[in-house]
Chain A
């Protein structure tokens, strides 16, 4: 965009230099003018429906009459001359609000949107204040839309943003606009759970209280009463930026935190609604140690304040070999201190061994290869996408949303070239129609974004990898080609994929750990490298499963199976498990062997199998209760901050570990900055971490940045039942943020934005005021620090040559491959009650022909035995699954503890088939 020539426009007769590829509304807002709007949205652009951004346009400096135009539909052309303050424009904008208010219920005091309502803000901005109509308002029936979004249609002002986001932007199909004239209705055809995994964005897209956060409603607090701090989502590896809000010690909601490079304006429902695990009644709130009674029964002995360290110290002093198990869901700081405490030789990454290898391979490819890892925004701007092996709609939903935008790039570019401006959204969509740019996807089973693809292939991971290798070989003769043939469906795709990728300017190859296959990851690299070698500005995007998978991968360590060996061979008798349930990472016998160590210390926030076997349990802070750093899948180190001080003896994991260090070695780390400095000094991979956010002693005009809005109420009364004296706010040595209303009230550095608010802009739309231009980067740059980058071309890795043999079916066996669900495959979010409502029940997906041979029908109970682990599952027939392959929805309740893909046997329990036949006969 920078290369575009600027033009001069005049606002109130003053010249401004602006980009010509935008509307005058974009230009006005980017220049900082307050111009009200409703239907326009920076990610969805202009449609001209609401007529709220009316301004007066003049032909030239001699035209004093002018005419009313909509700024959002007026191009910023050379010499464009408008007035916002023109009396006729001012009057018209107030009249638009008057119209919108004719039927609005004026129920702000009982409306969840009140206090952060764009309609309130715009009403105040236009000055409309007096109701001149005496007629009855129209009313609507509201719908049940599922556990995430509340519907109150009477408040609707018909800006059409909901339907434009849900259907046009996010590809939803179960939502729409109904009826006409002043009876227009936005909702579903009938009551029911919204199908889109992005439905929660309606809450932020809606300018008023039609769509509100249903989980917030259950423990409602006004925005001005929420204590907030910048955070990072913990429910997948993409690192979307979030703003958790707290009141009275409980987490009330998650909001999107704009990051121009990462999540932009939106987050997925897993990220928005997964937070309630933090409020669980089962949270571990106090440290305890286990003793055994006379009958061998387990007794939990609470460790009072001051008793913890002596206890731990005594444990550690008596230890004969201490090992630490890290975690891909714990912060860099915690993993680092564990590694430091146990020593590099005794630190074991908390991945399954398979994932450990995959993540390691991804890191080596991203740092040793020539191709960059694109940010989410760059994926959305790619003009060709090839997904190899990863069901992003299940493992990294926002990546699916980015791909949805990417498939429009090529047709939209062609339309823009013909003279239709990109911001004229409906004109662009009408010209584009259903044209799609190149997008190919190869996965084990059909995914939610398959319908966007020009070509799809479903097969076993080895065949997916072979498809990738073949595409790379078709692009570059230097890349090795697979021997033998590909499955027919894949073979037909190879020349097309290669040709379409070659035509692209900015192709992105997407893969990840989801398929559990190293060959798939290497094949994706070969494709990306072949494109890079042909001079393309290619990107290589790998999905990693958890919020700090890449961070832990960079930290290194040993494999988890070696830890089992260390305990079995008595090289270690004390195991510290950091925020991890190793039953998810190891088979049950291995996990039990590891936890059979004399002393097991678990630091975690919720009970799990590992916690239940530990001898000492220390309560860990969840993401919103602590400060630290995660590294996202693109290698972006991002700081998250403590939103509130948790109740009980809960501490950040890294703080427990720094206490251990102090107790044993005397080296104490007092702050996150201390930890980061040491980590950056010791481990070059983390040299960039301190730069991800300002240090704790950062001040603006000597002031900290407040976590509480300046309108925060009740601070003198919140604790009045305990003490009428107002308590001193908690200290925060780890950040420049304060637990109070006092402090710098302006725009802080982007990594420290606790909420989007500006005078007159109480809603999330205030984000306009924090950006260098609307929809662009945050002022001062988007937060986060890239830790990894491609190697120079000369030093680049060669093509991988380990091409697997074609997948062949084995008699009597199935290759069990992992499948993923937005809700259910990620463990923490599935503990959030609203999310858990939508978790599917466990099943095993089979090709219908295979099922037929087994004599098994849809829904029939079957037995699966993999790695000696036994599962009872309902059969689900899925024609997209290849023959000889079975899809196992990893992470659903009870479905863990095995490493996939793996060969398994399927049987039908005695009696089941007969029962099914009988009931079939009954029906007949």
Chain B
């Protein structure tokens, strides 16, 4: 594939070091910003992004242009005073590492995307909220922000346009909840990372109670290319089978031949990603299932592999595309053990705000742990399924527990015989086999 077909990753340096500002400019960097400031109105930028059918790459797939359009511009209390744009770089979804690749290799692309987003929404202050463990990303972004200030891409009266934007790098303290956009905002304000109610949406009352747009890193990185090459070009990048525009950074981890991430047209099938790009299963390992987009999506099996990896298609087979980075379960890994590991993560990362998540996930971990240790009881299986059913969207305050329930419910359903075997044989069959 040519670089033009891989706008996000095509210009990366071969040595894996971040593009400096000069290099970025040579690839056409900041042309979109210049064009927008000179030729386009904020509404024009917003319309272009709407037309591109860019959908949020953080996992929920909400149309980006629509998200921006909710920022108020009327005469009420929220319309006057400062507005914010925040890059959600708290990439903590298990199995997901696509934003890190973008930030470490081409940090200016994110900055330019945020500049365009800020221009479109009237924001005058930007935060990049980076996962606490992402030291490399933070270094690259810190340097890039300084470079951008040096060339007046940031700061006051940017490129003589009268447009101002201050940008700050904020390192997270390391909680999964900080990746939830409202938890992120609380954390950014120095409060506990607990979710907020919606409505009011952050676009109306976000950071410090001011209008705030929170976008995923990959989402924002697409914006300069859309403005530079046009919405139609962007729509043409996708496989054309879905309404989604652009490319997507897909990834695969697990016992595949070549774990990694690849920028592909949105709508590429799971089979193609798994077999062509990841090189198929390693020798001696059989495919049993995969989580299509990070830990908080439902398992897909062999029979689902021809699904196109776009937001709507994956939903049709009962899961979600999520972050588009797959975790693959093989036959030599215990599905109960994998489940326990996932649920331990979710239970630990529960913020403790709402009852079902705080108590339910902890109970789930107790039961899974017992099953894995050979202390399980047959009733536990139905209890696990009941917990997965009860931890539904709307039952909980935010999407964390429903996200945890997706691999739980589907995992118990698809691998029930393995759970039963643990309980019947009173030990984990995989542990015996491997010893």
A and B are partners in one complex rather than unrelated chains: yes
Instruction: Please indicate the chain A residues that have their CB under 8 angstroms from the CB of B348 in the complex.
Output: 181
A414 interfacial contact with B, CB 8 Å = yes
A420-B352 contact, Cβ under 8 Å, with A68-B394, A132-B383, A184-B358: no
Question: Inside 8 A of A54's CB, which chain B residues have their CB?
Answer: 395
Contact of A69 among B379, B383, B394 (CB under 8 A): B394
A135 sits at the interface (CB 8 A) = yes
Known contacts being A133-B366, A430-B196, is A68 close to B351, with CB within 8 Å? no
CA distance A431 to B209 in the complex (A): 4
Interface residues of A in 63-105 (CB under 8 A from B): 67-69, 73, 92, 95-96, 99-100, 102-103
Most chain B C-beta atoms within 10 Å of own C-beta, residue among A67, A160, A427: A427
Give the docked Cα–Cα distance between A508 and B400 (Å): 46
Knowing A49-B353, A99-B355 touch, does A182 contact B362 (C-beta < 8 A)?
Answer: yes
Given A180-B175, A426-B196, A430-B205, decide whether A99 and B352 contact each other with a Cβ distance below 8 A. Answer: no
Of chain B, the residue at the smallest CB distance from A99 is: B359
Contact A92 B383 (CB under 8 A): no
Q: Which residue of A lies closest to B392 (CB)?
A: A68
> A102 contacts B209, CB within 8 Å?
no
Distance between Cα atoms of A183 and B349 in the complex (Å): 11
Residue in B205, B356, B397 whose CB lies within 8 Å of A99: B356
Chain B residues positioned under 8 Å from A158 (CB to CB): 352, 355, 358
CB-defined contacts of B149 to chain A, threshold 8 Å: none
The yes or no answer to A743 lying at the interface (CB within 8 A) is no
Q: Which residues in A have their C-beta under 8 angstroms from that of B397?
A: 48-49, 51
Q: Tell which of A92, A182, A184, A419 has the most Cβ of chain B within 10 Å.
A: A182
Report if A51-B395 is in contact (Cβ < 8 Å); known contacts: A99-B359, A433-B209: yes
- Contact present for A49 and B354 (CB under 8 Å): yes
Q: Does A692 contact B (CB under 8 A)?
A: no
Decide yes or no whether B171 CB sits under 8 A from chain A.
Answer: no
Q: Which residues of B contact A48 (CB under 8 A)?
A: 197, 354, 397
Chain B residues closer than 8 Å to A133, beta-carbon distance: 363, 366
Assembly CA distance A613 to B348 (angstroms):
69
With A68-B394, A181-B348, A427-B200 already in contact, the answer to whether A50 and B208 are too (CB < 8 A) is no
- Least CB distance, A549 to chain B, in whole angstroms: 43
B362 adjacent to A181 (CB under 8 Å): yes
Chain B residues whose CB sits within 8 angstroms of the CB of A135 once the complex forms: 363, 366, 370
Q: Using A99-B355, A103-B359, A182-B347 as known contacts, say yes or no to A68 and B197 having CB atoms under 8 A apart.
A: no
- Chain A residues with Cβ under 8 A from B358's Cβ? 99, 158, 181-182, 184
Top-6 shortest CB links A-B? A99-B359, A184-B352, A182-B362, A135-B366, A431-B209, A181-B350
B359–A100 touching, CB < 8 Å: yes
CB distance from A875 to the nearest CB of B (A): 38
Q: State the CA gap A432–B379 with chains docked (Å).
A: 49
Q: Nearest Cβ in chain A — how far from B378, in angstroms?
A: 13
Tell me which residues from 164 to 223 in chain A have a Cβ below 8 Å from any Cβ of chain B. Answer: 177, 179-184
Let me know if B396 is at the binding interface, CB within 8 A: yes
Cβ of A424 under 8 Å from chain B:
yes
Known interface pairs A180-B350, A182-B347. Does A50 touch B355 (Cβ–Cβ under 8 Å)?
A: yes
Known interface pairs A51-B397, A68-B395; A426-B197 also in contact (CB < 8 Å): yes
Given A100-B359, A415-B77, A430-B209: A95 in contact with B390 (beta carbons within 8 A): yes
Q: Contact between B355 and A427 (Cβ–Cβ < 8 Å)?
A: no
A414 lies within 8 A of B77 (CB)? yes
User: CB-CB < 8 A to B396: which residues of A?
Assistant: 51
A-B contact list, 30 entries, CB within 8 Å: A47-B197, A48-B397, A49-B353, A49-B354, A49-B397, A51-B355, A51-B396, A92-B395, A95-B356, A99-B359, A99-B363, A100-B359, A102-B362, A133-B366, A135-B363, A160-B353, A180-B350, A181-B349, A182-B359, A415-B205, A418-B77, A420-B200, A420-B205, A427-B196, A427-B197, A427-B205, A430-B196, A430-B205, A431-B205, A431-B209
Which residues of B lie under 8 Å from residue A141 when comparing CB positions?
none
B132 at the interface (CB under 8 A from A): no
Q: Does A346 contact B (CB under 8 A)?
A: no
Smallest CB–CB gap between B396 and chain A, Å? 7
Rounded to whole angstroms, the CA-CA distance of A92 and B354 in the bound complex is 14
B363: chain A residues at CB < 8 Å are 99, 102, 133, 135
Question: Are A52 and B355 in contact, CB atoms less than 8 angstroms apart?
Answer: yes
B34 at the A/B interface (Cβ < 8 Å)? Answer: no
Interface string of A669-700 (1 = CB under 8 A from B): 00000000000000000000000000000000
Q: Contact residue range for chain A?
A: 35 or more
B352-387 residues with Cβ-Cβ distance < 8 A to A are: 352-356, 358-363, 366, 370, 379, 383
Tell me, rounded to whole Å, the shortest Cβ–Cβ distance linking A305 to chain B.
61
Q: Among residues 137 to 163 in chain A, which have CB atoms less than 8 Å away from a CB atom of chain B? A: 157-158, 160
Q: Counting CB contacts under 8 A, is A417 at the interface?
A: yes
Instruction: Decide: A182 and B356 in contact? CB cutoff 8 A.
Output: no
CB distance from B49 to the nearest CB of A (A): 26
Most-contacted residue by chain A among B204, B352, B390, B394 (CB, 10 A): B352
Q: In this complex, what residue of B is CB-closest to A97? A: B355
Beyond A181-B349, A415-B205, A430-B196, list 14 extra A-B contacts (CB 8 Å): A99-B360, A100-B355, A132-B383, A160-B353, A179-B352, A181-B348, A182-B359, A182-B361, A184-B358, A420-B205, A424-B200, A431-B200, A431-B209, A433-B208
The answer for the CA separation of A183 and B352 in the assembled complex, in Å, is 8
Task: Tell me the count of chain B residues lying within 8 A, CB to CB, of chain A.
Answer: 39
Distance A180 CA – B361 CA, assembled complex (angstroms): 13
CB distance from A622 to the nearest CB of B (A): 44
| Residue contact B356 to A51, C-beta cutoff 8 Å | yes
Known: A49-B397, A418-B78, A420-B205. A181 touches B355 (CB 8 A): no
**B276, CB-defined interface residue at 8 Å:** no
Contact between chains at A92 and B390 (CB < 8 Å): yes
A121-138 interface bits toward B, Cβ cutoff 8 Å, 1 = contact, 0 = none: 000000000001101000
Q: Which residues of chain A in 533-553 are interfacial with respect to chain B, using CB atoms and an 8 Å cutoff?
A: none
Option from A132, A177, A433 in Cβ contact (under 8 Å) with B192: A177
Please report the C-alpha to C-alpha distance between residue A158 and residue B354 in the assembled complex, in whole angstroms: 8
Docked Cα-Cα span, A433 to B207, in Å, equals 10
Contacts of B394 in A (CB 8 A): 67-69
- A54 and B209 CA atoms in complex are apart in Å by 28
> Which residues of A are found within 8 Å of B15, using beta-carbon distances?
none
The answer to the question of B76 belonging to the interface, with a C-beta cut-off of 8 Å to chain A, is yes
**Distance in Å: Cβ of B357 to nearest Cβ of chain A:** 8
Query: Smallest CB–CB gap between B56 and chain A, Å?
Result: 22
Report how far A899 CA is from B128 CA in the complex, Å: 62
A427, B186: Cα distance in complex, Å:
12
CB distance from A505 to the nearest CB of B (A): 17
CB under 8 Å from chain A, chain B span 38-91? 76-78
Interchain CB contact under 8 A, A182 and B200: no
Bound complex: CA A160 to CA B358 (Å): 13
A908, chain B: closest CB distance, angstroms: 47
B76 and A418 contacting across the interface, CB-CB below 8 Å: yes
- In the bound complex, residues from chain A placing their C-beta under 8 Å from that of B200 are 419-420, 424, 427, 430-431
Closest B-chain residue to A177, C-beta based?
Answer: B192
| Structural contact, B356 and A181, CB atoms closer than 8 A | no
B77, B363, B383: residue with the most chain A Cβ atoms closer than 10 Å: B77
With both beta carbons as reference points, the residue of chain A lying nearest to B351 in the complex is identified as A180
A-facing mask of B389-415, CB < 8 A → 1, else 0?
A: 010101111000000000000000000
B77, B197, B209, B351: the one contacting A181 at CB < 8 Å is B351
Most chain-B CB neighbours within 10 Å: which of A67, A418, A424?
A418
Bound complex: CA A151 to CA B113 (Å): 51
Nearest-neighbour CB distance to chain A for B370, whole angstroms, equals 8
A-chain residues with CB within 8 Å of residue B347 when the two chains form the complex: 181-182
Task: Kindly state the separation between the CA atoms of A901 and B358 in the bound complex, as whole angstroms.
Answer: 57
Instruction: Give the nearest-CB partner of A135 in chain B.
Output: B366
* Complex interface: chain A residues within 8 A of B192 (CB): 177
**A47–B196 Cα gap in the complex (Å)?**
9
Interface string of A337-366 (1 = CB under 8 A from B): 000000000000000000000000000000
In the assembled complex, the Cα of A68 lies from the Cα of B394 at a distance in Å of 7
Q: Is B360 a contact partner of A73 (Cβ separation < 8 A)?
A: no
